[in-house]
Chain A
Amino acid sequence: MRHSFEVRIGPVGFRIGSDWRAPIAHLETLYRDYPKPLDGVPDFTVRLFARRPWRRFLRPSVEIGGDYMLPEAAPLPLRQGLLAAEMAMNLQMALGARRYLLLHASAVERDGRALLMTGISGAGKSTLATLLAARGWRFMGDEFALLDPATGLIHAFPRLISLKNDAIAAAEAAWPTARMGPLMPATPKGDIRHMVPDARAIAAMDVPARPALLVFPRYGFAPEIRAVQPGEAFVRMTQASTNYVALGEAGFRALTGLIAAVPSVAVDYPDGASAIAQVEALWAEL
């Protein structure tokens, strides 16, 4: 690889190699305040490579590669190279992580306790985590929460916040001083813009938190709160974990332990302000 960059996000070290300078330059800028991998050894290697050597000059397109591969991972145009890098980092985590049960959830922390929010794409995981962080919660991550099977604690994974479509303006309004990556219009996931988590999130990223509440948010509905029974919560979280099966017994123990330890609540909400009020009220009753 002609260009490369190393970074540590929470407990996970990455090395990103690229045939082009541009995506690496973006990563260097946006992750400038993050540490390097522990002992200089990355856990995962991500490669962004030209499909064929001449394509680097002719019609640049970024192909995603790494230690773990999906055959259908499609090439992206070079102007979306930063998105490709982030997607590739997620892919390596999702397929390769073994130390933690990976929960596809956003997480924020207050008073040493973590609030987990999980749901399908568009449910508002990233947006809600961003809005809560703007109100004094510590941002732990918008994509993956790392559940340690040995301790039951949630470890932070505060990568760049991936904002989509309407969430871009909402997050910019909540965090006017946040550093933002380039706007990437019309990607396969819509308009995307990355936001750098605040300094507190980065400084405290090695501090885990005890999970206290599991929320299943749903955007676009009248405000409603409903308890989710443990059986349903367990099934939904097995589906929301990318490595539950791979972890085997450790994953079973970690997930049944989480479900037994924290209340699970479905939250329907019409807009961000309403969601924040609903979540704050739930938290106050814990």
Chain B
Amino acid sequence: MHDSLYHGPPEGGLLVAPLDEFTAVYHRASGITHLLTEPAPQILAILGEGALSLDALLDRLGLDYDLADGTREALAARLAELVESGLVERA
């Protein structure tokens, strides 16, 4: 469980259009348009480079963002939402 890997869609699987605080994302596999806010687009961008565990993703986000306490739980919740939406798969 702790070592679950999260996969984003394959390269070219998403069309991403930043609008304002929202980012429109078209998922080619399903034909569904999603409207996302931070940090979902950033998560998708990182997972697009390769599958990561929750902790590895946290480390990777920490390179670009100032992460506060409780981030791990929040990130797990955001990942669960992305899995629910079909944009991310858990292996």
A230 sits at the interface (CB 8 A)? yes
Query: In the bound complex, do residue A249 and residue B15 qualify as a contact, i.e. CB atoms below 8 Å apart?
Result: yes
Known: A231-B35, A235-B35, A238-B33. A249 touches B21 (CB 8 A): no
Task: Count residues of chain B with CB under 8 A from any CB of chain A.
Answer: 12
Residues of A within 8 A of B19 (CB): 229-231, 234, 256, 259-260
Within 8 A of B (CB), among A240-272: 244-245, 248-249, 252-253, 256, 259-260
B28 sits at the interface (CB 8 A)? yes
CA distance A252 to B24 in the complex (A): 9
Residues of A within 8 A of B70 (CB): none
Residues of B within 8 A of A245 (CB): 31
Query: How many A residues are at the interface, by size bracket?
Result: 10 to 19
Q: How far is the CB of B17 from chain A (nearest CB, A)?
A: 4
Residues of A within 8 A of B24 (CB): 231, 234, 252, 256
CA distance A229 to B24 in the complex (A): 13
Query: In the bound complex, do residue B35 and residue A252 qualify as a contact, i.e. CB atoms below 8 Å apart?
Result: no
Residues of A within 8 A of B20 (CB): 229-231
Residues of B within 8 A of A231 (CB): 19-22, 24, 35
CA distance A235 to B21 in the complex (A): 13
Residues of B within 8 A of A244 (CB): 33
In chain A, what residue has the closest Cβ to B23? A231
B26 sits at the interface (CB 8 A)? yes
Residues of A within 8 A of B (CB): 229-231, 234-235, 238, 244-245, 248-249, 252-253, 256, 259-260
12 pairs of residues in contact across A and B, judged by CB atoms under 8 Å: A229-B20, A230-B19, A230-B20, A230-B22, A231-B21, A231-B35, A234-B22, A234-B35, A235-B35, A244-B33, A252-B17, A252-B33
